[in-house]
Chains A and B, each alone.
Chain A
Amino acid sequence: MKFRNTLIAAGASAILLSATGVAKAADSTKPIVIPIHNWSSQVVMAHVIGGIFESMGNNVEYVPADSQAVYESIRNGDVTISHEVWQSSFGGSFYNAMAKGGLIDAGTHSAATLEEMGVPTWVIDQNLCPGLPNWEALKDCKDVFTTVDSDGKGRWLEGPQSWHGTLMEERIAALGLGDDYMVKYAGGASSLWAELAAAKKEGRATIIFNWTPNFTDAEGFTFIEFPEYTAGCRVADGGEGSCGSPKGWLKKAASYKFPKSHPAAYTAYSKISFSTGQIGSMAALVDTDGLDHKDAAAKWLADNEATWTAWTK
Chain B
Amino acid sequence: MIELFKQKKSLQFILLLVIFYLLNHFIVPAESNILWRLPPLLKWFPLYINDSIGYLMFEWWPVEVYDPDIEEFEQKPLVSQFTRIISGFILFQIEFIREIMLGGAKTIVTFSSWDWATANPWARMPGLPWTVIAGGATILGYALAGRGLALLVGFSMTYISVFGQWEPAMQTLSFVLVAAPVSVFIGLILGIWAFRSKTVEAVLNPLLNMAQIIPHFSYLIPVMVFFGIGDHAGAIATVIFATPPMVRLTLLGLKKLGPEVAESGMMSGCTNWQLLTNVLVPTARRDILIGVNQVIMQCLAMVVLASLIGAKGLGIDLLIALNRLDIGKATEIGICIVLIAIVLDRMSLAWANKQTDYFSSLSFIEKHKYSLVFAALFMIALGLAYVGQFIFPEGFNYLYIVPHNKGMSIAIYLQSGVDWIWDTYFFALKVFNEWLILSVLLPVKAAYLGMPVIATFTLFMGIGFIVGGLRVALTVGALLLFIALTQWWDRALITAYLMSVSVLVSGIIGITVGTLCAQNARSTRFILTYCDTFQTFPSFIYLIPVMMLFGITDTAVVIAIIVYASIPALRYTVEGLLSVPETLQDAGTMSGVNRVQRWLTIELPMSFPHIALGLNQTVVFALSMVIIGAMIGTDDLGQLILGSLSDRNGVGNGLILGICVACIGLAIDQILRTWANQRKQALGLN
Question: Complex formed: what's the CA distance from A147 to B72 in Å?
Answer: 58
CB-CB under 8 A for A185 and B633, given A147-B551, A157-B552, A198-B548 = yes
Q: Is the CB of A69 within 8 A of B221?
A: yes
Q: Specify the chain B residue showing the minimal Cβ separation from A188.
A: B631
Indicate with 1 or 0, residue by residue over A55-68, a CB within 8 angstroms of chain B CB atoms.
Answer: 00001001111101
A148/B642 in contact, CB under 8 A: no
Residues on B with beta carbons closer than 8 Å to the beta carbon of A39:
320, 323-324
CA distance A293 to B117 in the complex (A): 27
Residues of A within 8 A of B309 (CB): 65-66, 69
Task: Please tell me if the beta carbons of B88 and A2 are within 8 angstroms of each other in the complex.
Answer: yes
Q: Does A40 contact B (CB under 8 A)?
A: yes
Residue from B67, B633, B640 within 8 A of A187 (CB atoms): B633
Contact A197–B645 (Cβ < 8 Å): no
Q: Contacts A63-B310, A68-B645, A257-B69 known; A38 to B553 CB distance under 8 Å?
A: no
Which range contains the number of B residues in contact with the other chain? 35 or more
A68 to B311, CA, bound (A): 16
User: Which residues of A84-106 are within 8 A (CB) of B?
Assistant: 90, 92-93, 96, 99
Residues of A within 8 A of B634 (CB): 187
Best-surrounded residue of A64, A93, A197 (most CB of chain B within 10 A): A64
A6 adjacent to B68 (CB under 8 Å): yes
Cα A197 to Cα B324 in complex, Å, equals 11
**Distance A168 CA – B522 CA, assembled complex (angstroms):** 55
Given B230, B426, B551, B645, which contacts A195 in the complex, CB threshold below 8 Å? B551
- Whole-angstrom distance between the Cβ of B265 and the nearest chain A Cβ: 44
Nearest Cβ distance between residue B653 and chain A, in whole angstroms? Answer: 11
A175 to B104, CA, bound (A): 58
**Given that A147-B553, A190-B325 are known contacts, is A66 also in contact with B645, CB under 8 Å in the complex?**
yes
A residues in contact with B307, CB < 8 Å: 64
- Residue with the greatest number of chain B CB neighbours at <10 A, chosen from A59, A165, A186: A186
- Binary flags per residue of A1-17, CB closer than 8 Å to B gives 1, else 0: 11001110110010000
CB distance from B494 to the nearest CB of A (A): 13
| B646 A163 Cβ-Cβ under 8 A | yes
Q: Are B646 and A260 in contact (CB under 8 A)?
A: no
Q: Is the CB of B405 within 8 A of A201?
A: no
Q: Is B635 an interface residue (CB 8 A)?
A: yes
Please name all residues of chain B whose beta carbon is closer than 8 Å to the beta carbon of A92 when the two chains form the complex: 646-647
* Inter-subunit contact A197/B70 (CB<8 Å): no
Binds A, one of B108-116, B244-252, B290-298: B108-116
Residues of A within 8 A of B349 (CB): none
Interface string of B611-650 (1 = CB under 8 A from A): 0000000000000000001111111000110111111101
Indicate whether B554 reaches chain A with its CB closer than 8 angstroms. yes
Q: Once the chains bind, are B220 and A66 in contact (CB under 8 Å)?
A: yes
| A73 shortest CB reach to chain B, Å | 5
State whether A189 touches B323 (Cβ < 8 A): yes
Residues B224 and A73 in contact, CB atoms below 8 Å apart? yes
* Other-chain contact of B110, A1, A66, A148, A188 (Cβ < 8 Å): A1
**Residue B322 interfacial (CB < 8 Å):** yes
A13 to B71, CA, bound (A): 10
In this assembly, does A276 line the interface, its C-beta being within 8 Å of a C-beta of chain B? no
Q: Of the candidates A2, A186, A202, which one forms a contact with B633 in the assembled complex, judged by CB atoms under 8 Å apart? A: A186
Shortest Cβ gap from A178 to chain B (Å): 17
Q: Are B648 and A96 in contact (CB under 8 A)?
A: yes
A135 / chain B contacts, CB cutoff of 8 Å: none
- Give Cα A63–Cα B306 distance, bound, in whole angstroms: 12
Say yes or no: is B133 at the interface (Cβ < 8 Å to chain A): no
- CB < 8 Å neighbour of B640 from A1, A161, A189: A161
Q: Assess whether A194 is in contact with B325, with CB atoms less than 8 Å apart.
A: yes
| Binary CB contact string for chain B from 79 to 101 against chain A (1 if under 8 A, 0 otherwise) | 00000000010000000000000
A179 at the interface (CB under 8 A from B): no
B315 adjacent to chain A (CB < 8 Å): yes
Complex Cα distance, B543 from A25, in Å, reads 51
Please give the distance in Å from A54's CB to the nearest CB on chain B.
11
By the criterion CB–CB under 8 Å, are B643 and A162 in contact? yes
In this assembly, does A36 line the interface, its C-beta being within 8 Å of a C-beta of chain B? yes
In the complex, are the beta carbons of B646 and A72 less than 8 A apart? no
- Segment from B13-21, B431-439, B505-513, B525-533 that makes contact with A: B431-439
CA distance A76 to B223 in the complex (A): 12
Q: In the bound complex, what is the Cα–Cα distance between A261 and B115 (angstroms)?
A: 13
Chain A CB within 8 A of B10 CB: no
Q: Is B279 in contact with chain A by the CB < 8 A criterion?
A: no
Q: Would A194 and B642 count as touching, CB distance under 8 A?
A: no
CB pair A40 B643 closer than 8 Å? no
Distance of A260 Cα from B69 Cα, bound (Å): 7
Interface residue? A149 (CB, 8 A) = yes
Interface centre among B70, B113, B220 (most CB of A within 10 A): B70
**Cα–Cα distance between A189 and B117 once the two chains are bound (Å):** 40
Q: Name the residue on A nearest B316 (C-beta).
A: A64
**Closest B residue to A62 using CB positions:** B312
- Of A10, A13, A78, A93, the residue contacting B229 (CB under 8 A) is A78
Chain B residues positioned under 8 Å from A40 (CB to CB): 320, 323-324
Q: Which of chain A's residues has its CB closest to B57's CB?
A: A76
Write the nearest CB–CB distance from B602 to chain A, whole angstroms: 46
Q: Would you mind naming 19 contact pairs between A and B with Cβ atoms under 8 Å apart?
A: A5-B112, A9-B113, A10-B68, A28-B114, A30-B69, A59-B118, A62-B312, A63-B312, A64-B319, A72-B224, A73-B229, A99-B648, A161-B643, A162-B642, A162-B646, A198-B549, A198-B551, A260-B69, A293-B320
Binding site for B on A (CB under 8 A): 1-2, 5-7, 9-10, 13, 25, 28-31, 33, 36, 38-40, 43, 59, 62-66, 68-70, 72-73, 76, 78-79, 90, 92-93, 96, 99, 147-149, 157, 160-163, 165, 184-191, 193-195, 197-198, 201-202, 215, 257, 260-261, 287, 292-294
Kindly list 18 other residue pairs between chains A and B, CB separation below 8 angstroms, not including A161-B640, A195-B547. A28-B69, A33-B229, A36-B316, A38-B319, A38-B320, A64-B312, A65-B309, A148-B551, A160-B633, A161-B639, A161-B643, A162-B646, A163-B646, A187-B630, A190-B323, A195-B551, A197-B325, A202-B426
10 tightest A-B contacts by CB? A187-B631, A64-B316, A260-B70, A261-B69, A161-B643, A68-B645, A38-B319, A66-B308, A29-B114, A194-B547
